[in-house]
A and B are shown apart, each in its own frame.
Chain A
Amino acid sequence: MPFELMSGNQAAAAAVQRAGVDLVAAYPITPQTAIVETLADYSANGLLKGEFVSVESEYSALACCNGAVAAGARVFTATSSHGLAFMHEMTQWCSGARFPIVMVNVNRAIGAPWVLDPDQGDSLSQRDTGWMQIYCSGAQEVFDTVLQAFVLSEELLLPCMVVFDGFYISHTYEVVDIPEEETVRKFIKPPTFEAQVQPGRQKNIHGLTAGENQHLLVRKRHEDMLKALNLLEKINEDYHKIFGRSYKAVYAEIPEGAETAVVAAGATAETVRWNLPKLTGTGLIQLRMFRPFPSDQLCKIFSDHKIKRLIVIDRNCSTGVGGIFAQEIKSAIYKMDKPPVVNDLILAGGIDLTGDMLKKVIEDSHLADKSEDKWGVDIQ
C-alpha cells in the first residue's frame, strides 16, 4: 500500500479524487484552501475524473453542486467558517431536496473579529440543517471518512459534512495510507442514485408544497437520517474488509474500572488520547458522528463502564447556553437511571488544549458534585 506524507487537507482532496467525482465546485477560504488547490492541481494534471469549477462564492459552490447532483452526478465542495455561514440557505435546500452531496468543512471560528483559529461554531451552527456530520481526528481518518461519506450520503439521499479542525488537522502532515484507485473502486462504485432531473421526463421538482406534505417530508428525512448509525457500521465492515481500518459513530477507550471519561471530537480527541497514560482512572470517548446524534450508543458506553463523571470538551460555545456537545449529551443521558455528571470544558475561539489543563479539569471534576462549565483560559 502506498504511504504518503500529507496534510489533512491533502488527504481530503486525495479521497475526493479517488471517489471519482463528476464535479467539484469550489471557492477558497482559509484554512480549507489547500483542498481546492490540490483538487485544481489534480484537475490540471488530468487526475480528476470530473470537472473542477472555480465559482465566485461559497453560496454558488453549493448551488452549482445542487444543479449537478440533481442530474445524478457525484459532487463535492469544501469550505470553512464564513464560507459555510454564507452557504446556510443552500445547506438547508439540499437536505430538503434529498441531494447526496459531500462537503468538507474545516473548522474555523466565525467573526467578528476576524479570527483564523479552529472553533466548531461554524459546523455546529449548521447542525439543524439536515446534514449528517462526522468529526475526524487525523488525516488518515479524513481520507477514510470522505470515501465513506459518499457511500453513506448516496445510500440515504442526504448530504454529509465531513468536519475537521483547522490547522491542527488541515495543516499538520501525517503519514497516510492512500490506496490505489482500483482498490478504492472495490469499495466505492460509480453513483447509482436516481437523477431527479431526467431529460424528457415531465417532473416538477421541489416546487411549492404545503402543510401536511411538508410535515411528512421532514419526518421522513429525520427517520432516514437515523438510519445512518446502523448504516455506518455496515459501511465500516465493508471498509475494514478492504482496507483493514474501521471507525465507529462513537469510539470508546476506557480502562477497566475507570469512572471518569473525557468526551471529545476531532483533533481534541487525539490530544486526550496522547495524554491518557498520565490520567489514571480516566477514559476517552471520541464522538465522531454528531448528526445523527448517537444517543443510545453513548448511554450504553456510560452504563457499561459505570461512568460517573464526564468531562466534555467543547471547541464552541452556544452563547447563553454553553458548549454544544455538552448540551447534546445532557439531553441524551436524560433517559438513563443514573446519568453521569457532565462537566464542560469550553475552548471556544481556538485555544490549545494542554495536558496540564486536562489534568486540572479532571481533578476539579472529582471535587464537584454537579455540572460545571469551565472556560479553558481561566484555569491556566
Chain B
Amino acid sequence: MNISELNREREILYSGHSACPGCGAVLTVRHMTRTLGPDIAMVITASCWSIIAGMPPLTALKCPILHCPFPSAGSVGGGLKRGLIAKGHLDTTVVVLAGDGGTFDIGLQALSGAAQRNEDYIFICYDNEAYMNTGMQTSSATPYGARTNTAPYPLFKEGQKKNIMQIMAAHSIPYAATATVAFPDDMERKLKKAKEIKGFRFIHILSPCPPGWGAESSDTIHLSRLAVTTGFFPLYEIYNGITWKLTSPPDMKGTPLNEYLDSQKRFNKMDQIRRKALQEEVDHDWSCLMDRCEASVDTD
C-alpha cells in the first residue's frame, strides 16, 4: 500500500497525539481504527497509549475511548460489549488495546478469562517488547539477550520471550493473527477478517519503539520488515486454535537475525554466544510453526 493512497475520510486517528516520533504503536492504531471504524468503542489499558490518546477532554481519536486499570482490560472489554448490547448498540465493534505488559504479564489473567468465555470483541496487543511507558523495563515479551533498565549491561534479559500466540491458540479462540506495520495490506486484511468473525479475536502486532529499542525514528518500518524477514516475528493466522496459516511473503525468513539485532542499540552488547542461542531459538520456533501450518487442514 502506498501511504498516499490512504483514504483520509476513513481516518480516525488525528495528528496532535503525544507519541514519540516514529512510534510503531501509533501506526498500528492508525491502521486498526481506519479498518475497523467508524462504529468502534475502544478500551485502553495502562500503556503508552494511555498518554498518546491525549489529555481529556482532548483526544486524537475520533471514537469513544474508555481507559481502565492495567490488569483489567480483558474483563472491561467483555463488560463494555455486553453493556452496549443491553443498551441496543448491537453492531458497535469493541476493541481492547493493550501493550505487552497489559497482555503478556499483568493483563494475562483477565485476557485468558475473556478468551475462554469467548467474549465478543477484538483484543489488540501492540508489542514493543518492554514497559516503554515507564522507560524500558523488562517484560515477559522482552526478547532473550536484550538490555533493559531492569536488566542493564552486563546483565541481559534471561529466558525466552513468552509465546503469547501459543497461549491464545490453546484457548481455541475463533481467530488469532500476528501483524506488523511493514505489511499494512496484510494487517488490514487480518483486521477486516477479525471484524467479520464473532467471538474472541486476538491480534498480536510487533510495534517498534525508537527510544526503547535504540533506533532512528525513520527505522520503524525497516525494523518491522526485518523482524518478519529474519523469522523473528513471523506473520500468520490461527483459526479456532487448530488451523495455522502462514500469511507473509513466500521468500520470508532469508535474512540472518544479526541484521535485525545490529539495527538496534538494545542488542549492541550481545555477545556471539547469545546471538547464536537466539538465532537457534528463532530457527526452532520457525520450524515448529512450519510443522503446524503444514499439519493444518485449511478451513478458510
Residues of A within 8 A of B58 (CB): 204
The answer for the CA separation of A54 and B62 in the assembled complex, in Å, is 33
B92 touches A199 (CB 8 A): yes
Known contacts: A67-B76, A67-B79. The answer to whether A205 contacts B65 by CB under 8 A is yes
The answer for the CA separation of A60 and B86 in the assembled complex, in Å, is 19
The answer for the CA separation of A75 and B58 in the assembled complex, in Å, is 29
Known contacts: A197-B64, A203-B64. The answer to whether A73 contacts B86 by CB under 8 A is yes
List A56-74 residues whose CB lies under 8 Å from chain B.
Answer: 56-57, 59-61, 63-73
B77 touches A204 (CB 8 A): no
List B15-53 residues whose CB lies under 8 Å from chain A.
Answer: 38-39, 41, 43-44, 50-51, 53
A207 touches B50 (CB 8 A): yes
B83 touches A23 (CB 8 A): yes
Cβ of B89 under 8 Å from chain A: yes
Residues of A within 8 A of B55 (CB): 204, 207-210
A197 to nearest B CB, angstroms?
5
List B44-93 residues whose CB lies under 8 Å from chain A.
Answer: 44, 50-51, 53-59, 61-69, 71-72, 74-84, 86-87, 89, 92
Cβ-closest chain B residue relative to A72: B87
The answer for the CA separation of A72 and B116 in the assembled complex, in Å, is 25
Q: In the complex, which range does the number of interface residues on chain A fall in?
A: 35 or more
Residues of B within 8 A of A67 (CB): 43, 66, 68, 75-83
B76 touches A63 (CB 8 A): yes
Q: Find B64's partner among A25, A50, A69, A199 (CB 8 Å cutoff).
A: A199
A22 touches B109 (CB 8 A): no
Cβ of A46 under 8 Å from chain B: no
B59 touches A63 (CB 8 A): no
Cβ-closest chain A residue relative to B78: A64
Cβ of B247 under 8 Å from chain A: no
Residues of A within 8 A of B76 (CB): 63-64, 66-67, 70
Cβ of B193 under 8 Å from chain A: no
Q: Find B56's partner among A54, A73, A93, A205 (CB 8 Å cutoff).
A: A205
Q: Find A71's partner among B39, B87, B116 (CB 8 Å cutoff).
A: B87
List A186-219 residues whose CB lies under 8 Å from chain B.
Answer: 195-210
B42 to nearest A CB, angstroms?
9
Interface centre among A199, A201, A209 (most CB of B within 10 A): A199
Interface centre among B65, B86, B117 (most CB of A within 10 A): B86
Residues of B within 8 A of A51 (CB): 82, 86
Cβ-closest chain A residue relative to B38: A200
B83 touches A208 (CB 8 A): no
Cβ of B263 under 8 Å from chain A: no
A207 touches B78 (CB 8 A): no
The answer for the CA separation of A37 and B86 in the assembled complex, in Å, is 22
Cβ of B279 under 8 Å from chain A: no
> Per-position contact with A for B109-121: 1 when CB-CB < 8 Å, else 0?
1101100110000
List A243-300 residues whose CB lies under 8 Å from chain B.
Answer: none
Known contacts: A56-B109, A197-B84. The answer to whether A209 contacts B78 by CB under 8 A is no
Cβ of A53 under 8 Å from chain B: yes
B206 to nearest A CB, angstroms?
25
Q: Find A56's partner among B41, B65, B112 (CB 8 Å cutoff).
A: B112
Residues of A within 8 A of B50 (CB): 207-208
A59 touches B79 (CB 8 A): no
A188 to nearest B CB, angstroms?
16
A223 to nearest B CB, angstroms?
21
Cβ of A373 under 8 Å from chain B: no
B84 touches A199 (CB 8 A): yes
Q: Find A197's partner among B39, B53, B66, B78 (CB 8 Å cutoff).
A: B66
A66 touches B92 (CB 8 A): no
A204 touches B61 (CB 8 A): yes
A60 touches B80 (CB 8 A): no
The answer for the CA separation of A57 and B51 in the assembled complex, in Å, is 28
A93 touches B63 (CB 8 A): no
Given contacts A68-B83, A197-B83, 5 further A-B contacts (CB under 8 A): A22-B83, A60-B110, A75-B83, A89-B69, A207-B44
21 A-B residue pairs with CB within 8 Å: A53-B117, A56-B109, A59-B110, A60-B75, A61-B75, A63-B76, A63-B110, A67-B76, A67-B77, A70-B76, A71-B80, A199-B64, A200-B39, A202-B61, A204-B55, A204-B59, A205-B64, A207-B56, A207-B65, A207-B67, A210-B55
B residues engaging A (CB < 8 A)? 38-39, 41, 43-44, 50-51, 53-59, 61-69, 71-72, 74-84, 86-87, 89, 92, 109-110, 112-113, 116-117
